[in-house]
A and B are shown apart, each in its own frame.
Chain A
Amino acid sequence: GAGVSQSPSNKVTEKGKDVELRCDPISGHTALYWYRQSLGQGLEFLIYFQGNSAPDKSGLPSDRFSAERTGGSVSTLTIQRTQQEDSAVYLCASSPPTGWGSNEQFFGPGTRLTVL
């Protein structure tokens, strides 16, 4: 079946421009996560959506970062006034609505963002 998809796969932008990154989760998955990974580093949690609940935005590094999830499905991560330190691979993951203790994540291929 279809996995998590992300677009674009690569994005090169100039410092100060806004970018939008898109994530299509697996159909039926209620949880959606955004992470970013800098070269040689681990995954940094950014934001988490679960069903109709208010998103957990505790990982967003600054107010230049925001995310939406429309209709409980597709999500868009927006970075305003991009900076060079925003360069990273942005990963999206979704999880099915399973019971307690099972939050296995299915990851997309990522969007590689380069800010010049």
Chain B
Amino acid sequence: SQQGEEDPQALSIQEGENATMNCSYKTSINNLQWYRQNSGRGLVHLILIRSNEREKHSGRLRVTLDTSKKSSSLLITASRAADTASYFCAPSSGGSYIPTFGRGTSLIVHP
């Protein structure tokens, strides 16, 4: 089964800056999800975008999906120190809708 591959592997920015993380996958998808993982709260679902959607927003988060390029991006605007975490994309394909995860992007936001 496929898994998402996040890029970059690590990202370090200052508070207030925007952070962009990218995800690529190999085969057609049903949907793609983004998750955040930090030591305090474990893995938490952020946003789900379906294969027929191109953009979705949730608060300071913006996710885009380009199925022709088999890629997605997560933009966090006006970042905060609390956004420091690892971010994973998880595409789902096939009939079973099993999200598969890559190695994630490690984001550090400096106060």
Does the CB pair A105–B103 fall under 8 Å? Answer: no
How many residues of chain A get a CB closer than 8 Å to chain B's CBs? 26
- Which of B45, B51, B88, B99 has the most chain A CB within a 10 Å cutoff? B99
Does the CB pair A104–B103 fall under 8 Å? Answer: no
A104 to B103, CA, bound (A): 19
When the two chains form the complex, which single residue of B31, B44, B96, B99 contacts A101, counting CB atoms closer than 8 Å? B31
A72: interface (CB < 8 Å): no
B1: interface (CB < 8 Å): yes
- Interface residue ranges, B against A (CB under 8 Å): 1, 3, 30-31, 33, 35, 42-45, 48, 50-51, 88, 90, 92, 96-104
Closest CB pairs A-B (n = 3): A43-B101, A107-B43, A42-B103
List 27 contacting pairs A-B, 8 Å CB cutoff, sorted by A.
A33-B98, A33-B99, A41-B103, A42-B101, A42-B104, A43-B101, A45-B98, A58-B1, A91-B43, A93-B43, A100-B30, A101-B30, A101-B48, A101-B50, A102-B48, A103-B31, A103-B48, A103-B99, A104-B33, A105-B33, A105-B45, A106-B45, A107-B42, A107-B43, A107-B44, A108-B42, A109-B42
